[in-house]
Amino acid sequence: MMKKLLVWMCMIIVAAGCSNKSDGATIVVNDEIAYNQTIQDLQLGYMTSFDLQMDDEQNNEITVWVEEYLDGEREHETLMETVLMASESKRSIGMGVLDLSDESKKIILYEKEGSDISSSWTTVKIPVNEEGIKEMDTVVGEEKVEILPGETKILAAYRETAGNAINPLQFEDQALFEKMIADSSFVLVLKMKIEQKEK
């Protein structure tokens, strides 16, 4: 009787462990990467990074991309994009905005897995903004966020305003987020989505 009870309890524990396995990916902001703060301290621009964990058995495909808005209007269907396949390895993904001059910026989209780093760069020209405010903020914080197949998630946004007054970034309220884009002279939005592929 005792053996049957132990077997039954083990089965419950195993089942519970399986049910906690994510069908998608978990992501959390990584503020400890040294060059993120260094870039900002040297007033070279802004950079944000995230740690990404996924289950390779789910056969998911993850797309990370950057959208650009100028004076409230979207400039490209997609400014930059990278596609990741599911892997058990811990990954880092991120976006950087570097000031090249008053009229241009270098945008970086990168992915790091182990010691391997891949990145793409592009240069965008924007109006001179000498008196405006610049900032970058993230939706995902220090708490892990789960992103499921079929879901699109905003990870971060960078913006510049023409004036010296600025309201906090609003990510959760779509109407307020769209108003933020409309009220800003230049905006970059980092997004991610997961699609489940057939095996």
Q: What is the pLDDT of residue 69?
A: 93
What confidence score (pLDDT) does residue 129 get?
64
> Distance between CA 39 and CA 43 in Å, rounded?
6
Are 66 and 93 contacting, i.e. CB atoms less than 8 angstroms apart? Answer: no
> pLDDT under 70 in the chain at which residues?
1-23, 31-38, 40-43, 55-58, 86-89, 102, 115, 127-131, 140-142, 164-167, 198-199
Query: Which pLDDT does position 74 carry in this prediction?
Result: 92
What is the edge-to-edge ordering of all strands in the sheet holding 91-99? 116-125, 104-113, 91-99, 45-54, 25-29, 145-147
* Structure-token match 């914080």, residue found: 141
In 139-185, DSSP assigns E strands to: 145-147, 152-161
Half-sphere exposure of 67 (CA within 13 A, CB side): 17
Cβ burial, residue 7 (10 Å; 0-12/13-18/19+) = exposed
pTM of model > 0.95:
no
DSSP 119: E
C-alpha triplet 17, 19, 24: angle, nearest 5°: 115
Distance set, CA 151 to CA 3, 108, 154, 199 (Å): 44, 24, 10, 20
- Return all residues near 22 (Cβ < 8 A) that are at least 6 apart: 54, 55, 58, 146, 148
Burial (CB count within 10 angstroms: exposed 0-12, middle 13-18, buried 19+), residue 114: exposed
pLDDT in the model for residue 40: 67
pLDDT for residue 171: 77
Q: Facing residues of 63 across strands?
A: 83, 193
Identify which of 142, 33, 15, 134 has the alpha carbon closest to the alpha carbon of residue 92.
33
